[in-house]
Amino acid sequence: MTSAALHFLKGHGTENDFVIVPDPDGLLDLSPAAVARLCDRRAGIGADGVLRVVRSAAHPEAREMAGEAEWFMDYRNSDGSVAEMCGNGVRVFARYLQLAGHAEAGDLAIATRAGVRRAHLAKDGDVTVAMGRARLVDGAVTVAVAAEGERPARSWPARHVDMGNPHAVAFVAELADAGSLLAAPVCSPAAAYPTGVNVEFVVDRGPRHVAMRVHERGSGETRSCGTGACAVMVATARRDGVDPAATGRPETYTVDVPGGRLLITENPDGTVEMTGPAVILAEGDTAAGWL
């Protein structure tokens, strides 16, 4: 990619962690191999994904959003693949823009491949993001995990939810039922997810309160997934017979993830908001020539 040192920061949102690469003028050629190297937890910095920070005007995929959102979140999974959206990532991205002096505390718009997302940086440190509408896709979907040791293969019916990126939400009796998640769960029919899928396993914790595990497309099991938590909230609300569009009242669910807690609200107009922490914890440079 480059023989020069690369400046980076490290951040996380509910322990979904990211290497942040400031590249305001879009000059870096960040190849999939370079992203995988940065995200490698033994030979690299280690992360679930990379957030490249580029001015919208300087990126061909974001140029048309430049009038609305000055900055584009170029999100990559840890295997180097590109994704449309990352909910935890967009909160961390907003926190970075604030710390770097590119944004005030308050509201800011961020361009993503799934469109412009608006973030609100609250004084208490949490970040709320308007995540757009969840699309519940019709059609039966099944999620299966392979047998492991004494554990038999298991499968569950799932709800197909699109949050700008694809999700399959399966309700299980225990989070442990999903097994080690070292191998990706298999979703069928495969045609439902032509570009792969993020899979959430969900249990009830109480009224309007659930917990989940996630296996992310391109990153494996992670400690949290913001778009996944939104997909889970909407799938759970419908399962519970809760629909803000019908009552005219917003509804909030608490979604516990292995790395913390997210609050997800669905509004009567179908838009979804996510609130959670966003932390920048380190800043540095790679050794020259390493990448």
Ligand X SMILES: N[C@@H](CCC[C@H](N)C(=O)O)C(=O)O
Catalytic pick among 39, 187, 225, 230: 225
CA distances in angstroms from 141 to 162, 172, 174, 279, listed in the order given: 13, 15, 20, 35
Nearest distance from C-beta of residue 87 to ligand X, angstroms: 4
> Which of 32/268 has CB closer to ligand X?
32
Told to judge if 225 belongs to the known catalytic residues of this protein, a careful annotator would answer: yes
Could you say whether residue 112 binds ligand X (CB under 6 A)?
A: no
d(CA 269, CA 260): 28
Tokens encoding 219: 């990153």
Let me know how long the chain is: 291
CA-to-CA distance for 123 and 71, rounded, in angstroms? 22
- Residue 187 is among the residues annotated as catalytic for this protein: no
Distance CA 9, CA 283 (A): 4
Q: How many helices (H) and strands (E) does the chain have?
A: 4, 18
Q: Spell out the long-range contacts of 112-116 with Cβ–Cβ below 8 A and sequence spacing 24 or more.
A: 112/72, 112/73, 112/75, 112/84, 112/85, 112/86, 112/164, 113/61, 113/75, 113/82, 113/83, 113/84, 113/85, 113/164, 114/84, 114/85, 114/163, 114/164, 114/165, 115/65, 115/164, 116/65, 116/68, 116/69
Omega before 250 cis (within 30°)?
Answer: no
**Site pattern 6..25 for ligand X (x: CB under 6 A):** ----------x---------
Stretch that binds ligand X, among 57-65, 175-183, 214-222, 262-270 (CB under 6 A): 214-222
- Annotated ligand binding at 227? The verdict is yes
Using CB under 6 A as the binding rule, whether residue 286 contacts ligand X is answered as no
Q: How many residues bind ligand X (CB under 6 A)?
A: 19
Verify binding: residue 86, ligand X, rule CB under 6 A: yes
165 binding ligand X? (CB under 6 A):
yes
CA atoms of 118 and 129, how far apart (whole Å): 6
Q: Which stretch binds ligand X (CB under 6 A): 30-38, 50-58, 175-183, 211-219?
A: 211-219
Q: Which of 69, 71, 88, 161 binds ligand X (CB under 6 A)?
A: 88
Whether 49 contacts 85, CB under 8 Å: no
Name which of residues 122 to 161 contact ligand X (CB under 6 A).
Answer: none
Out of 210, 217, 231, 256, name the contact with ligand X by CB under 6 A.
217
Q: Is 77 annotated as a binding residue?
A: yes
112, 219, 236, 275: residue in contact with ligand X (rule CB under 6 A): 219
For ligand X, give the closer residue by CB, 66 or 82: 82
Gap between the Cα atoms of 43 and 233, Å rounded: 36
Minimum CB distance to ligand X, residue 195 (Å): 8
Considering the rule CB under 6 A, would residue 216 count as an interface residue with ligand X?
yes
Q: Which residues bind ligand X (CB under 6 A)?
A: 16, 49, 77, 83, 86-89, 165, 198, 216-219, 222, 225-228
Q: Which residues participate in the annotated binding site for substrate?
A: 16, 77, 87-88, 165, 198, 216-217, 226-227
Which residues are part of the catalytic machinery?
A: 86, 225
